[in-house]
Amino acid sequence: MNCKPNDLAIVIRADAVPELIGQIVEVMHPSLPDSPYGFVWMVRFQTPKLFPGLFRGSVIVDTDANCPDAWLRPITGLPIHDDVPDEVTA
């Protein structure tokens, strides 16, 4: 799995709503155990988003949504490289 509960993550794939790609979400808890997309999380967006409803043409506005783990990349902090100086020069 890519994520765990309480992680911040970036949406890297969103077939039904491509505008969500690049959005930052909070990973809440597991959801939809038997999904064809693999493991699925309930995630929370910072602001309400539009999602397709069950009926053709209907729309749902919500901050929470289901998102497959494979469609998320956790935000783990700044990368640490050997070329990053330990001290700031004046």
| Residues recorded for the chain | 90
> Which residues make beta-bridge pairs with 72?
11
Those residues whose C-beta lies under 8 Å from the C-beta of residue 72, and which sit 6 or more positions away, are 2, 3, 9, 10, 11, 12, 25, 27, 41, 43
Confidence at residue 90, expressed as pLDDT on a 0 to 100 scale = 61
What does each of the 90 residues of the chain score in pLDDT, given as a tens digit? 899 999 999 999 999 899 999 999 999 999 987 889 999 999 999 999 999 888 888 999 999 999 999 999 999 876 655 555 556 666
Domain residue spans of the chain: 8-74
Tell me which residue of 79, 74, 64 sits closest to 28, measured CA to CA.
64
Those residues whose C-beta lies under 8 Å from the C-beta of residue 60, and which sit 6 or more positions away, are 50, 51, 52, 53
> Which residues make beta-bridge pairs with 8?
26
Confidence at residue 84, expressed as pLDDT on a 0 to 100 scale = 53
Confidence at residue 80, expressed as pLDDT on a 0 to 100 scale = 55
CB contact at 8 A, 15 and 71: no
